[in-house]
Amino acid sequence: MVVTAVRAADSRQRFIDAAISLFARHSFAGTSLQMIADEVGVTKSAVHHHFRTREELLNAVIEPVLGGLQAAVEAAEGQRGRRARAERMLTGVVDLAVRNRMLVPMLVGDPGAIEMLRSRTEVGELANRLNMLLADIDPGVGGWIKADMVMAGIAGGMSARTSGLDDDVLRRHLIEASRRTLGLRAPRGLR
């Protein structure tokens, strides 16, 4: 019984990994369950055993990212002072983006994925909390514009040009550029 559960979890993860790769290459709308089955080397019915629709599969793909984002937002909200909150939010979102660098461009640039994400109210609420933490450095329209620029810049940093960069190098550059945009100085121990 335990072996069967492990195999099922392994199969499910293989489908998720294949979906990430195919979504990145062909977009969410351009990827079918048959393509995922072909990528893994199984029948389409094997994929259907775990995921009835592409939307279910996309939800499984993004759940760990959303969980990580939720944790980063909560950690930032727990900080004292708006600069500390913004710094914690910035480093949390950059860490998450770097860990999911193959997925980020699809999540922010694929109309089908964006539409599906927008249909989930908790995603919009989480995005608003995140942006509020970054925008609070410069209250008003300027802060919101800077927060939007930072988020777009982080997503843009996941380009083909940066695909060969070491995670730590990419992380450092994204954080430095974002701090400059937001008007944040590095914390004392990092100057």
Q: What percent of the chain has pLDDT over 90?
A: 68
State the pLDDT at residue 152.
Answer: 92
Model confidence pLDDT, tens digit, residues 34-79: 999 999 999 999 999 999 999 999 999 999 999 999 999 999 999 9
* DSSP, res 161: G
Of 85-89, 107-111, 134-138, where does mean pLDDT reach its minimum?
107-111
Domain 1-52 homologous superfamily, CATH:
Homeodomain-like (1.10.10.60)
The pairs formed by 108-115 with CB atoms below 8 angstroms and a separation of 24 or more are 108/152, 108/155, 109/155, 110/23, 110/27, 110/28, 110/29, 111/29, 112/27, 112/28, 112/29, 113/23, 113/27, 113/28, 113/58
6 — pLDDT class (breaks 50, 70, 90): very low
Q: Which tokens go with 95?
A: 């860490």
Q: Work out the burial of residue 32: count CB atoms within 10 Å of its CB; fewer than 13 is exposed, 13-18 middle, 19 or more buried.
A: middle
State the pLDDT at residue 190.
Answer: 59
The model carries a pTM of: 0.85
Percentages (nearest 5) of helix, strand, coil residues in the chain: 80, 0, 20
Model confidence pLDDT, tens digit, residues 79-108: 999 999 999 999 999 999 999 988 888 888
The alpha helices in 42-140, defined as continuous H runs, are: 44-50, 54-77, 82-99, 104-109, 111-118, 121-135
Q: Rounded to an integer, what distance in angstroms lies between the CA atom of residue 67 and that of residue 69?
A: 5
Check if the beta carbon of residue 44 is closer than 8 Å to that of residue 27: no
